[in-house]
Amino acid sequence: MFLQEYSEKWVDVGGIRTRYFEAGIGRPLVLVHGGTKGDSSGGANAEDFDRNFAQLAKKFRVIAVDRLGQGYTDNPRCDEDWTMAASVRHFAGFLDALGYAPYNLVGHSRGAYVVARVTLDHPRLVESCVMIDSSTASPSPGRSQILFSLNPYKPGTVEASRWTYETYSCTTDHVTDGWIAMKQKITETKKNKEAIAKMKDEGLLATRFLPELLEDKEEFFMRLEKDGMRRPMLLFWGYNDPTAPLDCGLELYDLIAKRQPRTSLHIVNQAGHHSFRERAAEFNRVIAEFVEGVVHGH
Amino acid sequence: MAIDIAADPRLRAEVGPGRNYNPANADMGAERWLDVSGIRTRYFDEGTGAPVVFVHGAQMGASDGASSANTWALNFPVLRNWHNVIAFDKLGQGYTDNPKTDADYTMHAIVQHAIGFLEKLCKGPYHLVGHSCGGYVVSRIAMERPDLAKTCVCVSSGTLSPGTSRTRIVHKDPPQPPLTRESIRWYCERYSYNLKIVTEDWLDGSLAIARTEKNEIAVAKMNRDGLLRRQFLPLLSKQRTEMFRWLQERGMPCPTLVVWGYDDPAADLADGLQLIELFMKKQRDTEVRIFNKSGHFVMREHPGAFNRLIDTYIDAHC
């Protein structure tokens, strides 16, 4: 296990056995990974934050959770739940189950959509919200499909996984053998194979997940325009993100900043899609600065 | 639903008192003076720890106000608690002497004077923080004298950015005559998002400087005698082009943080993004922070958040 100093914890969230890690005392800070269950990004999980977890645990009660159907958290129990909306519901349920509200939420990529959506729909659960490198949550298009189309390796192999993460990165030091192996182990679980069968073979990705996400996103942007976020926001972006380019961050910022006065954008250089891994020191510093600022009222 | 930390002792214990970044007063400490190659230079120097130098904006003989080290009055008295903070009046501004010759009414002379000041103070390498025109100055110092710069924070520097200055558009039809309280207030308000930041204190300080004899001489030289258009701006334009080349060829020699106000009417964020592109090219450790609901004076519009950012940034680079 990557976060091996910290024991895995489990909680039941509406019948879904959910894996998470927790350490430290102080304000609750929840790290939410990206990716989509049963897709080529299906290896994403709580342990993607292994360069951040221990540092942040010195200042906060840090929690990192495997989203619905990802990592070691159970797959959805019915076909209707192979959606982003279900992932959001599960995450909100997880926050309720833990009982530490209000939370400071930090989400990456697809996970940024999840935390933003919970902030929008359940502000009572949230003290502040950080979105990292996300085209899912941005009105500007991402480039992941263009990048994916070039992958020369067989889906599900270590080579394909390594190629993806390296292509998504600016610097590749963080794409370690250990990290890839940890993801591969998840990819090869029985649970993940079932997820692939659902999403790819049965076609739920194309017939349900993506179309519903598109509709949800539309409504999300309209709500951002109309109601706005009701909590302080930080957007954290890698300047060299090839899949969620800086334009995604700038357009999202335009949208959120209109309604939420306390919205900041922090950009780090020489960082691709996993800016929180590639520039972990900067990320950990800025997150602590932001959350402590929120706590102290500025 | 803001959480009242003070009202909840359990939360207070968890968060800890932390550092208080909100300005309690505008006390810059004792005025000090240093002779920098014959230029009597006013400065403030307080606290212990890492040396942090604040460089204010505008240039000598400005007709829209009179900038000085006191621009940092909401930041300096806070950050002195944890760092050795230094703020000086640039050549021909504040209470620092005017240039000795007309030929020194240039950005080059401003930078050389600043370098001379930092050398004479003998506390380098410094964490340099510059606002607006001062952002150009600190970046130029780092480029010319890497030995003096540990980190560089460049705030809202339209002066350093590619593009054409918008200040003449933003400041169309100012009240006459210039350099009265009402005129200075008018300019400050046009630079700002939140008009409440334009305090009587701030205007008092600016007005007192504007009325000094030496400032009137500088204003006359730059405007009536035409040194601004004939000499200062053409030379600055040349030196700025040189900076653009340097930034692309070798890059800043130290970690650099660019700070910008999203609503800056004078130094437009679009120009700032071009500048950011130049900084990013060669300096790996470049970061950018954009503040919402902020005009040109980010450090005055959001002093608490600005102070926290600077403090944690400097701590990380000590």
Give the chain A residue whose CA is nearest to the CA of B279.
A269
> Do β-strands A233-238 and A103-108 pair in parallel, antiparallel, or remain unpaired?
unpaired
Tokens of B251: 């890059």
Q: What pLDDT is attached to residue B16?
A: 55
Question: Residue B301: closest CA among chain A residues belongs to which residue?
Answer: A298
pLDDT in tens, A128-167: 999 999 999 999 989 988 888 899 999 889 999 999 999 9
Q: Does B123 touch chain A (CB under 8 A)?
A: no
Instruction: Report the pLDDT value the prediction gives residue B8, as an integer from 0 to 100.
Output: 45
pLDDT tens, residue by residue, A13-58: 999 999 999 999 999 999 999 999 988 888 999 999 999 999 999 9
- Alpha-carbon torsion (A217, A223, A225, A228), positive or negative: negative
Which pLDDT belongs to residue B81? Answer: 96
pLDDT of residue A1: 62
Q: What is the pLDDT of residue B164?
A: 78
Tens digit of pLDDT for each residue in A237-247? 999 999 999 99
Q: How far apart are CA A131 and CA B16, in angstroms?
A: 26
Least confident of A236-240, B22-26, B47-51, B301-305: B22-26
Q: Looking at chain A from residue 76 to 105, which residues have their Cβ under 8 Å from any Cβ of chain B?
A: 102
Q: Give yes or no for a contact between A170 and A238, defined as CB atoms under 8 angstroms apart.
A: yes
Domain spanning A13-295: which superfamily? Alpha/Beta hydrolase fold, catalytic domain (3.40.50.1820)
Average pLDDT over residues A211-225: 97
Nearest to B308 among A266, A268, A289 (CB): A289
ipTM for the predicted complex comes to: 0.95
pLDDT of B218-227, one tens digit each? 999 999 999 9
Predicted confidence at residue A148, as pLDDT, reads 85
Q: What percent of chain A has pLDDT over 70?
A: 100
Cα distances from A147 to residues A36, A151, A165, B106, B141, in angstroms, run 16, 7, 11, 50, 41
Percent of chain A topping pLDDT 90:
92
B32-316 under CATH 3.40.50.720, yes or no: no
pLDDT digits (tens, 9 = 90+) for B144-182: 999 999 999 999 999 999 887 777 788 888 899 999 999
Percent of chain B at pLDDT exceeding 90: 89
> Which among B1, B14, B309 has CB closest to A25?
B14
Per-residue pLDDT for B11 more than 60? no
Q: What is the pLDDT of residue B69?
A: 98
pTM attached to this predicted model? 0.95
**Closest by alpha carbon to B307, among A26, A296, A236?**
A296
Residue written as tokens 């990705």?
A205
